[in-house]
Structure 1
Amino acid sequence: MLSIFFTEYAEFLHCKGRKFTDFDEVRQEIEVETDRITGVNKGISSIPINLRIYSPHVLSLTLIDLPGITKVPVGDQPPDIEVQIRDMIMQFIARENCLILAVTPANTDLANSDALKLAKEVDPQGLRTIGVITKLDLMDEGTDAREILENKLLPLRRGYIGVVNRSQKDIDGKKDIKAALLAERKFFLSHPAYRHMADRMGTPYLQKVLNQQLTNHIRDTLPAFRSKLQSQLLSIEHEVEVYKNFRPEDPTRKTKALLQMVQQFSVDFEKRIEGSGDQVDTLELSGGAKINRIFHERFPFELVKMEFNEKELRREISYAIKNIHGIRTGLFTPDMAFEAIVKKQIVKLKGPCLKSVDLVMQELINTVKKCTKKLATYPRLCEETERIVAGYIREREEKTKDQVLLLIDIQVSYINTNHEDFIGFANAQQRSSQVNKSAVGNQVIRKGWLTINNIGIMKGGSKEYWFVLTAESLSWYKDDEEKEKKYMLPLDNLKVRDVEKSFMSSKHIFALFNTEQRNVYKDYRFLELACDSQEEVDSWKASLLRAGVYPDKSSTENDENGQADNFSMDPQLERQVETIRNLVDSYMSIINKCIRDLIPKTIMHLMINNVKEFINAELLAHLYSSEDQNTLMEESAEQAQRRDEMLRMYQALKEALAIIGDISTSTVSTPAPPPVDDSWLQQTLLASAAPSLPVSLGIPPENLAVI
Structure 2
Amino acid sequence: ALSPGGITACPLIPRRDFLPRGSGIVTRRPLILQLIFSKTEYAEFLHCKSKKFTDFDEVRQEIEAETDRVTGTNKGISPIPINLRVYSPHVLNLTLIDLPGITKVPVGDQPQDIEYQIKDMILQFISRESSLILAVTPANMDLANSDALKMAKEVDPQGLRTIGVITKLDLMDEGTDARDVLENKLLPLRRGYIGVVNRSQKDIDGKKDIRAALAAERKFFLSHPAYRHMADRMGTPHLQKVLNQQLTNHIRETLPSLRSKLQSQLLSLEKEVEEYKNFRPDDPTRKTKALLQMVQQFGVDFEKRIEGSGDQVDTLELSGGARINRIFHERFPFELVKMEFDEKDLRREISYAIKNIHGVRTGLFTPDLAFEAIVKKQVVKLKEPCLKCVDLVIQELINTVRQCTSKLFLPALLAARGGEKRAAPGGGGAQHRPPLLLKLSPPLSLRSAQQRNTQTNKKRAVPNQVIRRGWLTINNISIMKGGSKEYWFVLTAESLSWYKDEEEKEKKYMLPLDNLKIRDVEKGFMSNKHVFAIFNTEQRNVYKDLRQIELACDSQEDVDSWKASFLRAGVYPEKDQTENEDGAQENTFSMDPQLERQVETIRNLVDSYVGIINKSIRDLMPKTIMHLMINNVSRGRGGRTGAPGAAGRSPPHRGGRAFDDPFGSLPPRGWVPSTSGRYSAIPRLELNPSGSLPPRGWVPSTSGSYSVIPLLELDPFS
How does the TM-score come out when normalised to structure 1? 0.53
| Contact 1:421–1:590 (CA under 8 A) maintained in structure 2 | no
The aligned amino acid for 2:469 is: K
Q: Residue 498 of structure 2 aligns with which residue?
A: 476
Q: Tell me the distance in 2 between the aligned counterparts of 1:539 and 1:617.
A: 37
- Tell me what 2:308 maps to: 275
Q: Does 1:608 align with 2:641?
A: no
One-letter code aligned to 1:484: E
Residue by residue, what CA displacement relative to the aligned partner does 1:465-487 show, whole Å, maximum 9, x if unpaired? 11111111111111112222221
Contact 2:532–2:559 (8 Å) recurs in 1: yes
Query: Residue 479 of structure 1: SS of its match in structure 2?
Result: coil
Q: Does 1:64 align with 2:55?
A: yes
Alpha-carbon distance change, 622 to 98 in structure 1, aligned in 2, over 3 angstroms: closer
Asked if residue 422 in structure 1 is aligned to residue 457 in structure 2, the reply is no
Which residue is equivalent to 2:515?
493
Q: C-alpha separation between the residues in 2 aligned to 1:577 and 1:386?
A: 51
Distance 1:385 1:502, change over 3 A: closer
Partner AA of 1:304 in structure 2 = V
User: How do residues 228-627 of structure 1 correspond to structure 2 at under 5 angstroms?
Assistant: 242=272, 245=277, 247-276=280-309, 278-376=311-409, 378-379=410-411, 382=414, 401-403=434-436, 406-407=437-438, 411=440, 415-419=444-448, 422-423=451-452, 438-455=460-477, 457=479, 459-560=481-582, 562-621=584-643, 624-626=646-648
3-state DSSP of counterpart to 1:422: helix
Whole-Å separation in 1 of the counterparts to 2:204 and 2:559: 74
Q: 1:533 to 1:619 in 2, by over 3 A?
A: farther
Q: Distance in 2 between matches of 1:66 and 1:514?
A: 76
Give 3-state SS (helix, strand or coil) of 1:496's partner. Answer: strand
C-alpha distance in structure 2 between counterparts of 1:534 and 1:290, whole Å: 13
TM-superposed deviation, 1:441: 3.8
Per the TM alignment, residue 573 of structure 1 is displaced from its structure 2 partner at its CA by 2.8
Name the SS for the 1:117 alignment partner.
coil
Residues of 2 paired with 1:524 and 1:489: CA distance? Answer: 13
Whole-angstrom distance in 1 between the partners of 2:270 and 2:475: 53
SS in 1 for 2:209: helix
Q: Where in structure 2 are the equivalents of 1:92-111 lying within 5 Å?
A: 97=86
Cα distance, 1:561 vs structure 2: 5.6
Q: What is the RMSD of the two structures over their aligned residues, measured on CA atoms?
A: 4.5
| Pair 396,599 (structure 1): closer, same or farther in 2 beyond 3 Å | farther
What secondary structure does 2:446 align onto? coil
CA distance in 2, matches of 1:113, 1:537: 61
CA apart distance, 1:97: 4.2
CA distance in 2, matches of 1:562, 1:530: 40
Partners of 1:122 and 1:260 lie apart in 2 by 66
Aligned to 1:120: 211
CA distance in 1 between counterparts of 2:602 and 2:449 reads 18
Aligned partners of 2:311, 2:418: CA distance in 1, in Å?
A: 25
> Cα deviation per residue 1:165-198 (whole Å; 9 max; x = unaligned)?
xxxxxxxxxxxxxxxxxxxxxxxxxxxxxxxxxx
Point out where structure 2 has 5 or more consecutive residues left out of the alignment. 1-41, 44-49, 59-83, 91-202, 219-235, 238-243, 651-718
Output the CA distance in 1 between the equivalents of 2:565 and 2:545: 26
**Bigger shift: 342-351 or 460-469?**
460-469
Q: For residues 339 and 458 of structure 2, what CA distance do their matches in structure 1 show?
A: 19
- What SS is found at the alignment partner of 1:617? coil
Name the CA shift for 1:230/1:437 in 2 (closer, same or farther; >3 Å): same
Instruction: Kindly provide the amino acid, as one letter, of the partner of residue 475 in structure 2.
Output: N
Kindly tell me the number of residue pairs found equivalent between the two proteins: 433
Task: Please tell me whether the aligned partners of residues 343 and 412 of structure 1 are also in contact (alpha carbons under 8 angstroms).
Answer: no
CA contact (8 A) 2:640 2:646 kept: no
Q: State how far apart, in whole Å, the 2-side matches of 1:239 and 1:356 are.
A: 42
Distance apart, 1:553 and its partner CA:
0.8
Distance (whole Å) between structure 2 residues aligned to residue 490 and residue 358 of structure 1: 36
Please give the alpha-carbon distance, in whole angstroms, between the structure 2 residues aligned to 1:223 and 1:474: 52
Structure 1 residue 438: Cα displacement: 1.6
Separation in structure 2 between the aligned mates of residue 334 and residue 113 of structure 1, nearest angstrom: 104
Whole-angstrom distance in 1 between the partners of 2:261 and 2:206: 41
User: How far apart in 2 are the matches of 1:528 and 1:482?
Assistant: 21
AA of the residue aligned to 1:281: D
Q: Choose between structure 1 and 2 for higher RCO, CA contacts under 8 A separated by at least 6 residues.
A: 1
Asked whether the 8 Å contact 2:434–2:629 carries over to 1, the reply is: no
Is the contact made by 2:446 and 2:605 (CA closer than 8 Å) also made in structure 1? no
Contact 2:449 2:609 in 1 (8 A): no
Larger Rg: 1
**In structure 2, the residue corresponding to 1:541 is in which secondary structure?**
helix
Q: Per the alignment, do residues 274 and 100 of structure 1 end up closer, same or farther by CA in structure 2, a change over 3 Å counting?
A: closer
Give % identity.
63
